[in-house]
Amino acid sequence: MSDDHKEDPGLSSTGLSRRKFINTTALVGLTLGVAACDKTGAPGAAGEGTAAGAEGCASPTEIKPGELDTYYGLWSGGHNGDMRVLGLPSGREIHRIPCFVPDALVGWGITNESKAVMGTKPDGTPLYQVADTHHTHASYKDGNYDGRYAWINDKINSRIARIRLDYFVCDKITDLPNVQGFHGIFPDKADPVDPNKNYTTRVFCGGEFAIPLPNDGHDVNAPEKYRSLFSCVDAESMEVRWQVLIDGNCDLVATSYDGKLAATNQYNTENAVHYEDMMSAERDACLFFNVARIEQAVKDGKFKTYGTSSVPVVDGTRDGNKDPKTALVAYVSVPKNPHGVNASPDGKYFICAGKLSPTTTTIELSKVLDWFEGKMDKLDDAIVAEVEVGLGPLHTAFDGRGNAYTTLFLDSQVVKWNIEKAIAFHKGDKSAKYVVDRIDVHYQPGHINASQSETKAADGKYLAVGCKFSKDRFLPVGPLHPENEQLIDISGDKMVLLADHPVRGEPHDFIIFKRDIVTPKQVYNLDDSPIAVKDAKDSGVFRDGNKVTVKLTSQAPAFSLREFTVKKGDVVTLILTNLDKVEDLTHGFALPKYNIQFVINPQETKSVTFVADKPGVFWAYCSTFCHALHLEMRTRMIVEA
Ligand code: K7E
Ligand code: CUA
Ligand code: CA
């Protein structure tokens, strides 16, 4: 990034150099910060203006001991295959929800219940030990989050996980057939035909890598035959409803507020297998899927299936979709290897970032619908703005006041720009100064999201930026650096950097919403589990041949059985119900030499199955501090030779 005095095209302030600009930003932050200083630390709470930390004024990101954050953040957990729950503005990590990868704390991948969600190999171990989560989004109602579910992708094994936002646990994982490199994910926000369904019923998934269909060993050396698919998963059943065969590939996904359109940006229009060929075309595409027409085509039987999958696949290729009146898919041309497609909170536009082009492309959804209805000849007329914003634009967030915030990977900046002014500029009004502000971030930002950004309730308070490189921002810890999540106050005209938060790699995407959107339950219901041991009196060892069921309950500071005896070679299923009803009274169950450890929350039931292949005495102990007699909370498993 240069610090020269070149005038920024479209910069609203009077052509300040970047150096002057940074100084001005800092000053504004300081002065307004004092003016806006208030007890809650919420930006703008004392009127307009920002709330940057200043002398005599608590930092707006500081949540005092005993106070609660005002926002939840759901962060993708990257290579840990989990979802992380943050409190904002403090940035404190409150929870991790394991999904795709085993987790030692809760026993994810150890208990039968978690294995049933994860899937198992024939030997009973979890199907996969690795994952790469990128994108997380939550279910909608009336254009805002409704606190039912969140979803997260695993790019490595093309799996989608659902998280229940009542218990904050993963309850389903679905494998996408015919797909590799499942990347973008987005729930729909309404049904395209049924106005009563003003909530999420589908989740759309973009397949990034093209493969032979089916991928069974044929055509492996004929990359021109490889294909990518766009998938629709049922939000409730988590079954794959349908897929669309496309030309090129899918990257990120966005959905319209009326439910009619889903989109994916596409960087490999070239259908290439090598990177240099993937960037050979000057323009790639943003694809729009006509959801109602696709579902009608499926109903009408106009689909294929591949290999062992029974999921209907409709034709969304360019050749098959030339006539707008019957097209299922529209290919809008956007500049070179775009990345990110985001829906503006007013419901009017999708923004595609240029990545290899220094531009963002604004596409008006009503015009895409006009094209599908034969009312507009040239599809590319749906592009209402294509303006320069800086180098390496990737992802865009919104403040609900008409401004967009785009990360500039190469410039290490966030640029704030006004959508309507960009449209005016694109139309020919060269006096329209669409760039409102720029701020340096540290360093090389990828995803960005603002509080409530991807809802109609975008509130324009906080902006989080996922910086891929932290370099010098934290104490050195050897070669592997954390990433740097930065928090920016966007309540004023100028962005103000509030805080750095180190984060273990690599989260990519996240969402931020007001805390009252979810009302998590803190105690389970005994009836949640069909195998609950509802009374300590029901405990015991129940034998059926060499299959043994051990029923056990916990109530601080004791397990219901002081010991239990099995025989070497028995296949033991141990069912444990925590009868404690008190909030936060979690117990653990750790069994030496048998690779078993899991936690049981109040009124929760979990089970494990293992072969008692080692004779001897094994002290199973409570592994979660629960009581003054926690250390004494044990039971003895005796395995007779
Ligand atoms: Cu931009 Cu996978 Cu969302 Cu990373 S992707 S940054
Ligand atoms: Cu029960 Cu510790
Ligand atoms: Ca390309």
Is 236 among the domain residues? yes
Ligand 1 atom 6: residue of nearest CA? 446
* Sign of the dihedral through C-alpha 93, 99, 101, 106: positive
From ligand 2's centre to the CA of 554, what distance in Å?
Answer: 8
Please identify, among 355, 373, 388, the residue that sits at the C-terminal boundary of a domain. Answer: 388
Quick: pLDDT tens for 576-609: 999 999 999 999 999 999 999 999 999 999 999 9
Distance between CA atoms of 552 and 275, rounded to whole angstroms?
A: 57
Quick: pLDDT tens for 341-381: 999 999 999 999 999 999 999 999 999 999 999 999 999 99
C-beta separation of 298 from 312 below 8 A: yes
> What confidence score (pLDDT) does residue 164 get?
98
Report pTM.
0.92
Distance between CA atoms of 338 and 393, rounded to whole angstroms?
A: 8
pLDDT grade for 20, boundaries at 50, 70 and 90: very low
> What confidence score (pLDDT) does residue 59 get?
75
C-beta separation of 230 from 241 below 8 A: no
Question: Does 509 sit in the ligand 1 pocket, CB within 6 Å?
Answer: yes
Number of the ligand closest to the Cα of 282: 3
pLDDT grade for 49, boundaries at 50, 70 and 90: very low
Is 130 among the domain residues? no
Is 517 among the domain residues? no
Is 270 among the domain residues? yes
Question: Does 183 sit in the ligand 1 pocket, CB within 6 Å?
Answer: yes
What is the CATH classification number for the domain harbouring 310? 2.130.10.10
Is 574 among the domain residues? yes
pLDDT over 50 (residue 276)? yes
Question: Does 447 sit in the ligand 1 pocket, CB within 6 Å?
Answer: yes
C-beta separation of 512 from 90 below 8 A: no
From ligand 3's centre to the CA of 279, what distance in Å?
Answer: 4
Quick: pLDDT tens for 516-570: 999 999 999 999 999 999 999 999 999 999 999 999 999 999 999 999 999 999 9
Ligand 1 atom 4: residue of nearest CA? 508
Number of the ligand closest to the Cα of 156: 1
Lowest mean pLDDT among 2-11, 158-167, 312-321: 2-11
pLDDT over 80 (residue 36)? no
Nearest alpha-carbon partner for 461 in 438, 489, 436: 489
Q: How large a percentage of the chain has pLDDT more than 70?
A: 91
From ligand 1's centre to the CA of 545, what distance in Å?
Answer: 53
pLDDT over 90 (residue 456)? yes
* Sign of the dihedral through C-alpha 610, 613, 614, 616: positive
DSSP notation for 342-405: EE-TTSSEEEEE-SSSSEEEEEEHHHHHHHHTTS-S-GGGGEEEEEE--SSEEEEEE-SSSEEE
pLDDT over 90 (residue 385)? yes
Is 427 among the domain residues? no
Number of domains in the chain: 2
Question: Does 590 sit in the ligand 2 pocket, CB within 6 Å?
Answer: no
Distance between CA atoms of 637 and 566, rounded to whole angstroms?
A: 8
pLDDT over 70 (residue 43)? no
pLDDT over 80 (residue 44)? no
From ligand 3's centre to the CA of 258, what distance in Å?
Answer: 30
pLDDT grade for 37, boundaries at 50, 70 and 90: very low
Is 99 among the domain residues? no
What is the CATH classification number for the domain harbouring 550? 2.60.40.420
Task: Return the higher-pLDDT residue of 31 and 498.
Answer: 498
Ligand 2 atom 1: residue of nearest CA? 587
Q: What is the DSSP letter of 57?
A: B
Q: Determine the Cα angle at 508 with ends 503 and 514, to 5°.
A: 80
Nearest alpha-carbon partner for 16 in 30, 4, 33: 4
Q: Determine the Cα angle at 517 with ends 398 and 601, to 5°.
A: 130
pLDDT grade for 457, boundaries at 50, 70 and 90: very high
C-beta separation of 197 from 263 below 8 A: no
> What confidence score (pLDDT) does residue 62 get?
85
Domain containing 251 equals 176-388
> What confidence score (pLDDT) does residue 57 get?
55
pLDDT grade for 41, boundaries at 50, 70 and 90: very low
Q: How large a percentage of the chain has pLDDT more than 90?
A: 90
* Whether residue 532 sits in one domain with residue 384: no
Number of the ligand closest to the Cα of 559: 2
Q: Which residues pair with 92 in a beta bridge?
A: 87
Distance between CA atoms of 3 and 15, rounded to whole angstroms?
A: 13
Please identify, among 345, 365, 388, the residue that sits at the C-terminal boundary of a domain. Answer: 388
Is 287 among the domain residues? yes
Q: How many helices (H) and strands (E) does the chain have?
A: 6, 39
C-beta separation of 147 from 141 below 8 A: no
Number of the ligand closest to the Cα of 342: 1
> What confidence score (pLDDT) does residue 23 get?
40
> What confidence score (pLDDT) does residue 61 get?
83
pLDDT over 80 (residue 502)? yes
- What is the residue-averaged pLDDT of the chain? 92
From ligand 2's centre to the CA of 640, what distance in Å?
Answer: 27
From ligand 1's centre to the CA of 270, what distance in Å?
Answer: 21
Please identify, among 361, 388, 415, the residue that sits at the C-terminal boundary of a domain. Answer: 388
Q: Which two tokens stand for residue 484?
A: 């740097």
